[in-house]
């Protein structure tokens, strides 16, 4: 921006010299801008844009969280065991049953012992494949044997 102001001042100084006389030549070549200042301004604008873009992308890259940097917390959720009275343990897997639950706990005793889970407070996808203990509130289900809204999850290792 500073360079653009300097170039504009240089052009206006040249025009001020011409305006001192009342009569001007009608030579069309003098009224046209030469291509050289245009290209100088264009190169400067592109250069400043590249510099700003480089620093902006560097700053944004540092502020973004990548999936590789996410670590699973040992416990997550609301530690209110009075509200979330029901608990279950097992290995967390993705998938519900007939639209009930987004995840399920695999427990000993076969499929009939699975606990199907939803959660509005905990991102259960971070715990898939891990042995966990969950606390929550049991809901009535049509297809699932046990449907729970999870409020607290703890990793067991």
> 25-60 burial, b for 16+ CB within 10 Å, e for fewer?
eeeeeeeeeeeeeeeeeeeeeeeeeeeeeeeeeeee
124 near 154, Cβ under 8 Å?
Answer: no
pTM, two decimal places: 0.51
The CATH classification number of 75-155 equals 2.40.50.110
11-60 confidence digits (pLDDT tens): 665 544 555 556 665 555 555 556 788 888 899 999 999 999 888 887 77
pLDDT score, position 50: 92
- The residue extents of the domains of the chain are 2-63, 75-155
96-125 confidence digits (pLDDT tens): 777 788 888 888 888 888 888 888 888 888
148 near 136, Cβ under 8 Å?
Answer: yes
pLDDT score, position 9: 66
């Amino acid at each position: 921006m500073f360079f653009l102001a300097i170039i504009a001042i240089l052009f206006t100084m040249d025009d001020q010299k011409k305006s001192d006389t009342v009569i001007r030549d009608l030579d069309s070549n003098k009224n046209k801008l030469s291509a050289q200042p245009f290209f100088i301004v264009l190169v400067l604008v592109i250069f400043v844009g590249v510099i700003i873009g480089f620093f902006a992308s560097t700053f944004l890259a540092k502020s973004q969280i990548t999936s590789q940097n996410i670590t699973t917390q040992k416990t997550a959720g609301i530690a209110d065991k009075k509200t979330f009275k029901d608990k279950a343990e097992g290995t967390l897997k993705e998938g519900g049953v007939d639209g009930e639950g987004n995840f399920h706990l695999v427990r000993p005793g076969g499929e009939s012992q699975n606990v199907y889970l939803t959660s509005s407070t905990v991102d259960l996808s971070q715990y898939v494949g891990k042995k966990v203990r969950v606390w929550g509130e049991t809901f009535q289900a049509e297809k699932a044997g046990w449907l729970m809204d999870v409020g607290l999850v703890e990793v067991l290792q």
